[in-house]
Amino acid sequence: MDSVALRGVRARGRHGCLPAERELGQEFVVDATLFLDTRPAAADDDLARTVDYGRLAAELAAIVAGEPVNLIETLADRLATACLTHEPVVEAEIRVHKPAAPIEVPFADVVVTVRRSRA
């Protein structure tokens, strides 16, 4: 299976369990790896037969900026579901980074990874 990957899609969202997270918001970073057969697109040199990653990046950013959720696990699931609406995609792996999570000790990043398929 081939893949198309988007790395570092950034958007501001208001996700989290704490009132301050909902009120102030913070930046989230999304990595998406889409699994599909790219041969039809390559054979015809046709964007319509693969994933338009520019359009997908905008969709993912809009989901992050949209309706708040408590858990980034929920956000990751919504992002994966959106990826699977693109016809050639049979599986999607999403990583949601929350680098400004409200943690009281020094840390580099918080990341939730989900992998979803059509089957």
Residues catalogued as catalytic = 98
* Residue 73, C-beta contacts closer than 8 angstroms, at least 6 positions apart: 112, 114
* Closest to 4 measured CA to CA, from 30, 29, 38, 45: 38
Report the alpha-carbon distance of residue 69 to residue 42 in Å, rounded.
38
* Kind of pairing between the strands at 91-97 and 26-36: antiparallel
**Residue 31 forms beta bridges with which residues?**
95
